[in-house]
């Protein structure tokens, strides 16, 4: 075991025979140090393996070249974003710091505000916040919201076209001949859920198919609640022949319930989801769904953040297209 304390700037200074002020100038490439001194100090830095403390550095300078991604939890959705963001940040001169408050379930509301308060001003130069519910904007600190849960706020935002995606999903079912189509909607307080329901209604209206209101029910985007909703729908005397679930979790849950009732998917019931989380391809049957380009959303949000910090004038609302992914959970009505 090596006995080795953290090597700090004063250690470098002492070894090189200069002051810490000079070392700082060398590290930051500032003017006013003799060439010979620069080289000597750099030599010592290299030998001692000195690296500036992020904490101390940011405390003083309010500039760290680190960007933050704040998430409630590292689950499939946010990690996909992370991959895209990571790719975008490479070569930009920034480093990436992903932070999770880690309160179980990410349930504690206001996590984004707390995490932001903890890291902003010090530590990071800007942040991407994933699926925030409440947003408030601090002066002089740049924030980009990805897939925000409330409607358009003042914040720069990256999201996908939930409305068009829902139309796509509904049209797909319609084109397969389905008419009794149900919709399991998400949490009513979430903008994305509202848009998906609106898209569903629009597609039905355009096709001249009246919506049976008993077939539109809240599923809450969650496995358990969606399951009971699906059970209700399938217990109806004239049950739907197809279900458009508000997200993939609900869809997967719906398939399970149908199975439990002895209904085959897609033989007796077609199910389509939304999101295209990686799990959707792995379930049986593989889920037909609407893809949100998550990695690209991650990349775009980072690009947007970097541009904002650099002061580039640009559009601050990016909406990416959604896309139909046909797998095996839907089939034509016989």
Partner DNA sequence: GACGATGTCGAAAACGTTATCGATACCGAT
Partner DNA sequence: ATCGGTATCGATAACGTTTTCGACATCGTC
Residues that bind DNA (CB under 7 A): 6, 8-10, 17-22, 24-25, 27-28, 30, 32-37, 50, 52-53, 56-57, 59-61, 63, 121-122
35 interface partner picked from a copy of itself, DNA, none, CB below 5 to 8 A per type: DNA
**For residues 123 and 184, which CB has a smaller minimum distance to a copy of itself in the complex?**
123
Helix (H) or strand (E) holding 96: strand 95-100
Burial of 11 (0-12, 13-18, 19+ CB in 10 A): middle
**Does 334 help bind a copy of itself (rule: CB under 8 A)?**
no
30 interface partner picked from a copy of itself, DNA, none, CB below 5 to 8 A per type: DNA
**For residues 201 and 327, which CB has a smaller minimum distance to a copy of itself in the complex?**
327
What count of residues does the chain have? 334
Burial of 268 (0-12, 13-18, 19+ CB in 10 A): middle
Strands, E, within 219-273: which ranges?
A: 242-245, 270-272
**Does 179 help bind a copy of itself (rule: CB under 8 A)?**
no
- What's the Cα-to-Cα distance from 179 to each of 60, 100, 259, rounded to whole Å? 64, 44, 22
- As a whole number of Å, the end-to-end CA separation of the chain is 72
Residues 75-114 touching a copy of itself, rule: CB under 8 A, are 75-76, 79-80, 82-83, 85-86, 89-92, 94-105, 113-114
Q: How far is CA 14 from the centre of its chain?
A: 46
Q: Where do we find the tokens 């405390």?
A: 59
**Does 122 help bind a copy of itself (rule: CB under 8 A)?**
yes
Q: Where do we find the tokens 């992020």?
A: 54
Per CB under 8 A, the list member of 20, 52, 263, 324 interacting with a copy of itself is 52
**Does 323 help bind a copy of itself (rule: CB under 8 A)?**
no
Residue ranges that bind a copy of itself, judged by CB under 8 A: 1-7, 49-56, 58-59, 73-76, 79-80, 82-83, 85-86, 89-92, 94-105, 113-114, 117-123, 136-139, 154, 278, 281-282
């Amino acid at each position: 075991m090596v006995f080795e304390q953290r090597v700090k700037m004063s250690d470098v200074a002492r070894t090189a025979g200069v002051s810490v002020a000079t070392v700082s100038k060398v590290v930051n490439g500032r003017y006013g140090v003799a060439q010979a001194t620069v080289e000597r100090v750099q030599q010592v830095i290299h030998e001692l393996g000195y690296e500036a403390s992020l904490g101390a550095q940011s405390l003083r300078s309010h500039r760290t070249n680190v960007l933050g991604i704040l998430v409630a939890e590292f689950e499939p959705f946010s990690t996909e974003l992370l991959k895209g963001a990571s790719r975008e940040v490479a070569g930009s001169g920034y480093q990436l710091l992903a932070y999770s408050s880690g309160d179980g379930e990410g349930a504690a509301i206001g996590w984004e505000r707390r995490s932001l308060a903890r890291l902003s001003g010090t530590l990071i130069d800007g942040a991407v916040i994933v699926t925030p519910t409440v947003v408030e904007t601090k002066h002089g600190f740049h924030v980009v919201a990805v897939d925000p849960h409330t409607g358009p706020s003042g914040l720069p935002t990256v999201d996908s076209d939930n409305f068009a995606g829902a139309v796509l999903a509904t049209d797909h079912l319609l084109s397969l001949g389905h008419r009794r189509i149900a919709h399991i909607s998400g949490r009513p307080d979430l903008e994305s859920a509202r848009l998906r329901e609106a898209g569903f209604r629009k597609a039905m209206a355009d096709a001249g198919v009246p919506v049976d209101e008993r077939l539109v029910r809240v599923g809450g985007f969650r496995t358990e609640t969606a399951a009971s909703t699906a059970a209700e729908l399938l217990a109806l005397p004239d049950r739907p022949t197809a279900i458009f679930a508000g997200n993939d979790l609900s869809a997967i849950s719906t398939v399970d319930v149908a199975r439990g009732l002895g209904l085959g998917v897609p033989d007796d019931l077609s199910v389509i989801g939304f999101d295209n989380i990686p799990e959707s391809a792995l379930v049986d049957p593989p889920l037909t769904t609407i893809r949100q380009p998550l990695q690209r959303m991650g990349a775009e949000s980072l690009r947007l953040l970097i541009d904002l910090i650099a002061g580039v004038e640009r559009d601050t609302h990016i909406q990416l297209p959604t896309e139909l992914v046909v797998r095996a959970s839907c089939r034509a009505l016989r």
